[in-house]
Amino acid sequence: MFIKHIASSFTLILLSCSVALLAQTRDTTALKKAAAFNSLNELREQLDDSFNDPNFGHAFWGVLVKSLNSGEIIYKRNADKLFNPASNTKLFTSAAALSLLGSDFVYQTNLYANGIIRNNKLAGDLIIQGSGDPTISNRFFNGEVTSIFEAWADSLKSKGITEISGNLFGDDTSFDNFGLGKGWSLDNESSWFSAPSGALSFNDNTLMIKVTPTETNFPADIKVVPNTKYVTVMQKVLTVDNNGEQSIKISRLRGSNLISVNGSIKKDSKPVVEYVSISDPTLFFLTVLREVFEQKGITVKGKVGSISISEKIILAENLSLLFTHESVPLHMIVKELNKNSNNFYAEQILKTIGLEIYNYGSAEYGVKACKDLFGTIGINPDNMIMVDGSGLSRLNLVSPRQVVNLLTFLYSSDEFNPFYNSLPIGGVDGTLANRMKRTSAENNVRAKAGFNENVSSLSGYLKTIGGETLAFSMIINNYLASPNLVDYIEDNVCNRLINFVRN
């Protein structure tokens, strides 16, 4: 028994040593792999191989990688050439907003009475004064898409107002009336990602269209959210059997609020959901607000419309403030902007910068304020073109060095944390949720991706396994290969940078 016990113990010792040796071998192998690029020249050769991929022989790569610990340029390729950055433009917009407005900035929407409140009646007009708040929806509030409007109705009723004898006016004069950005394609006018900006805006100035199958050879069920009479929906979707072809096209007639929903949907298909932009944000806002008021028991006797085109003379001294609605703070708004690459938020923020700095909410004044800032942080504003806040325009031009200079400035800024926290995390959330998974870059890279036709970009921060923080920018223009291949190269470069260890 004793001999058996010794033998058994010896076997356990040998087994433990083998496991430890195997673990050590694996650790050593992993260390060798991690430290494969221990020479800066070797790293640069590997990155050259990636960007020289023959699939992109007719395209142009612009790249800059910089150590934020030492200031050393790790890698560069066409770093000072100008490229269309697509949604990397949002880095400039969000950086300027946080720097100029502050992360605690809030939008205010004021509701005024132009008349006397007596016997549960406002004998006059209700005026809603907008400042460009992009968050009037249910994105940051629980409940239905109209939850904020419902809360406003409750506030009016608490003040004894159940009838408005006059009109429902919107004061949208804080912003200009150019809803679409300079250089935007009119082909995308009805798309959710091209929603117009406006001082009074509701639900990202979009509608949700939900198509649900019914019985074979019967019309499909079409639901519009919010349910409003502001739009007219032409429904021509037929439910077909499961062997039939499914094809649904949803669009809005240019310059109108006539929405066409055509095609067919299979009987056992899940509902198809798409989002469509609207025209005239102010009228959309006021129409839905009136409908909500009436649902909540507040009658509006007059009309709805913008105060800027009304023939009625309204004097500021005759107005009395009923209440003010405040948005969530800017750092939460910027997080939505960058995490989900929200074009509408970007345009609202750019015009807000113009409004706050130059007292007029236009893209031109917003860009002017941004460029004033850029000139103080080492980015020559004369050597770049910025025409919108989202990057949807093909007229924007920046260089990788300008992007990295921006990232470097933010890194030492008081607003770095809200900026950094707004960026998508590789393999985790936002527009990078499905990229870099099961790689060294997962949960390490914080970066803004950009995509437009024949354009891709990825810029942000990462930390190497050697503890070095890098700022990087990769932009490619005029490529014809698969976008998935571009993503692969960008993600692979991030992995190689993360695994870089100096001698």
Q: Is residue 32 in some structural domain?
A: no
Average pLDDT over residues 32-38: 46
> Looking at residue 149, which CATH number applies to its domain?
3.50.80.20
- 262 in a domain, yes or no? yes
Q: Is 166 within a domain?
A: yes
For residues 314-325, average pLDDT = 92
Indicate the pLDDT class of residue 38, thresholds 50, 70 and 90. low
112 and 319 Cβ atoms separated by less than 8 Å: yes
SS (H, E, C) 295-364: HCCCEECCCEEEHHHCCCCCCHHHCEEEEEEECCCHHHHHHHHHHCCCHHHHHHHHHHHHHHHHCCECHH
Residue 501: name the closest of 69, 37, 48 by CA: 37
β-bridge pairing 60-67 and 469-477: antiparallel
Tokens of 180: 């679409």
User: Which tens digits make up the pLDDT trace of 453-490?
Assistant: 999 999 999 999 999 999 999 999 999 999 999 999 99
Q: How far apart are CA 213 and CA 232, in angstroms?
A: 20
Residues 346, 252 share a domain: no
161, 118 contact by CB (below 8 A): no
- As a whole number of angstroms, the distance between CA 61 and CA 456 comes to 10
Kindly state the DSSP code that residue 176 receives in the 8-state scheme: -
Residues 139-190: tens digit of each pLDDT: 998 888 999 999 999 999 999 999 999 999 999 999 999 999 999 998 899 9
Per the CB < 8 A criterion, the answer to whether 235 and 261 are in contact is yes
Helix boundaries (H) for 118-182: 147-158
Q: Please tell me the predicted confidence (pLDDT) of residue 142.
A: 81
Domain assignment present for 200: yes
Q: What is the structure's pLDDT at 260?
A: 94
* pLDDT above 60: residue 216: yes
What is the per-residue pLDDT across 358-367, written as a single tens digit (0 to 9) for each? 999 999 999 9
Residues 174 and 314 in one domain: yes
For a pLDDT cut of 90, what percent of the chain falls above it?
A: 86
* Bond before 400 cis per omega within 30 degrees: no
Structurally, the chain folds into a number of domains equal to 3
Q: Are residues 238 and 211 in the same domain?
A: yes
Could you give the CA distance from residue 364 to residue 369 in angstroms, rounded to a whole number?
9
Q: Give residue 392's pLDDT.
A: 97
* Cα–Cα distance, 136 to 465 (Å, whole number): 43
Both 65 and 100 in a single domain?
Answer: yes
Q: Is the pTM of this model over 0.85?
A: yes
d(CA 473, CA 79): 9
By residue range, what is the domain housing residue 233?
Answer: 186-277
Q: What band does 6 get if pLDDT is binned at 50, 70 and 90?
A: very low
Mean pLDDT, range 54-75, rounded to an integer: 96
> Residue 286, Cβ neighbours under 10 Å: how many?
26
Q: Which DSSP letter does residue 374 get? A: H
Measure the CA angle with vertex 138, ends 339 and 353; round to 5°.
55
pLDDT tens readout for residues 324-352: 999 999 999 999 999 999 999 999 999 99
pLDDT at residue 385, rounded to an integer: 98
For the cut 90, the answer to whether the pLDDT of residue 309 exceeds it is: no
Domain boundary among 288, 311, 328: 328
Domain limit, last residue, from 277, 293, 314 = 277
Provide mean pLDDT across the span 427-445: 96
Q: Does 434 lie in the same domain as 304?
A: no
Same domain as 229, residue 166: no
**pLDDT reported for residue 436:** 96
Is residue 249 domain-shared with residue 386, that is, in the same domain?
no
Higher-confidence residue: 199 or 6? 199
Q: In which band, very low, low, confident or very high, does the pLDDT at 39 lie, cut at 50, 70 and 90?
A: confident
The per-residue pLDDT for 10 is: 36
CA-nearest of 206, 115, 134, 140 to 174 is 134
Average pLDDT of the segment spanning 74-90: 98
Q: Indicate whether 29 pLDDT > 70.
A: no
Identify the helix (H) or strand (E) that includes residue 222. Answer: strand 221-225
Tell me what the pLDDT averaged over the chain comes to.
91
Higher confidence at residue 20 or residue 61?
Answer: 61
Torsions phi, psi of 83, nearest 5?
Answer: -135, 155
Predicted confidence band of residue 402 (pLDDT cuts 50, 70, 90): very high
Position 222 in a domain: yes
Rounded distance between C-alpha atoms, residue 163 and residue 367, angstroms: 43
Q: Does 269 share its domain with 289?
A: no
Cα separations in angstroms, 215 against 222, 241, 270, 294: 14, 9, 13, 35
In a domain, 21, yes or no: no
The DSSP-derived string for 468-503 is -EEEEEEEEES--S-HHHHHHHHHHHHHHHHTB---
When pLDDT is averaged across residues 103-120 and rounded to a whole number, the result is 96
DSSP state letters, 27-43: HHHHHHHHTTB-SHHHH
Identify the band that residue 34 occupies on the pLDDT scale cut at 50, 70 and 90.
very low
Q: What confidence category does residue 502 fall into, taking pLDDT thresholds of 50, 70 and 90?
A: confident
Same domain, 342 and 459: yes
pLDDT of residue 220: 96
Q: Are residues 377 and 478 in the same domain?
A: yes
Q: Which helix (H) or strand (E) holds 366?
A: helix 363-374
CATH of the domain at 362: 3.40.710.10
Statement to judge: residues 135 and 192 lie in one domain: no
- Is residue 8 domain-resident? no
Nearest one of 490, 449, 412, 374 to 71, comparing CA atoms: 412
Task: Find out whether 393 and 183 touch, Cβ atoms under 8 Å.
Answer: yes
Q: How confident is the model at residue 53 (pLDDT cuts 50, 70, 90)?
A: very high
